[in-house]
Structure 1
């Protein structure tokens, strides 16, 4: 799934930006946006939220926003949409470079810090798309099952 990246036109998720709120500029704000969206969905569906699934979705949002800040030139858009049994998190940034898996050690076998975010996203999401944006940059959309 994450070894092959798709490049396609961006299709806006139906939930648009986090219910009229400004986009998050920090991973903590993205986590809270996902928590609010999922809590609202569970409340309106009269269904208890799966705590582990919510944790997965929150972690994916956190990793995507952190990567946009560290490697993508900043967050240019953030969207969260809960539909059916899934939460869809989309994070856009300024870089057209796709995410890569960084080996845990360099050429001299010295361990390097970080490099865990993209593998975490790929492991927790059931679907991941990397799309080039017409104005430059990219949008990464990850779908995490909730139930």
Structure 2
């Protein structure tokens, strides 16, 4: 389970000693957004190329939606990864559910507006590439690549 107290760096940096207390996954969507912000900021520093603020906003929203959906519908986040690859940021969120994400109509059978159901369409619209993979131990991993430039 998630730790009550989080360190400054929310996710395991490359080469970190797992026994040193680095959490493996976000406990809240805000932690996923911070991980994306850090990864993109580091890439911008090393490439000396500024990131489009609107593009970063899209990446943060995708990370938040994937994490929220895993928590609400997938039995919780089992793994989380963020990488800046080429001109985009790749966010991967794994959960315990084998069920595929679905898009629900905005209204129910009586014509009343539904609450929720907007996250998956947002992820698909903002991402250049979205993949859903079954995990060998059960559950799934959703990977989305969001353009940064």
TM over 0.5: yes
1:107 deviates by: 1.1
Give, in whole Å, the separation in 2 of the partners of 1:50 and 1:68. Answer: 27
Q: Distance in 1 between matches of 2:36 and 2:47?
A: 16
Aligned pair 1:54/2:56, yes or no?
Answer: yes
Q: Which runs of 5+ in 2 are unaligned?
A: 1-10, 17-21
Alignment of 1:14-29 (within 5 A): 19=13, 20=16, 21-22=22-23, 23-29=25-31
SS of match in other structure, 1:95 = coil
Point out 4+ residue stretches in structure 1 off by more than 4 angstroms: none
Matches within 5 A, 1:1-147: 19=13, 20=16, 21-22=22-23, 23-147=25-149
TM-score of the pair, normalised by structure 2: 0.85
Q: Give the TM-score taking structure 1 as reference length.
A: 0.86
Using the TM superposition, give the Cα deviation of residue 25 of structure 1 relative to its aligned residue in structure 2, in angstroms. 1.2
Q: In 1, distance between residues paired with 2:85 and 2:141?
A: 19
What is the alpha-carbon distance in structure 2 between the residues aligned to residue 136 and residue 28 of structure 1?
26
CA contact (8 A) 1:126 1:143 kept: yes
Q: Which has the larger radius of gyration?
A: 2
**Which structure has more RCO (C-alpha within 8 Å, separation ≥ 6)?**
1
**How many residue pairs align between the two structures?**
131
1:99–1:118 contact (8 Å) kept in structure 2: yes
How far did residue 18 of structure 1 move?
Answer: 5.3
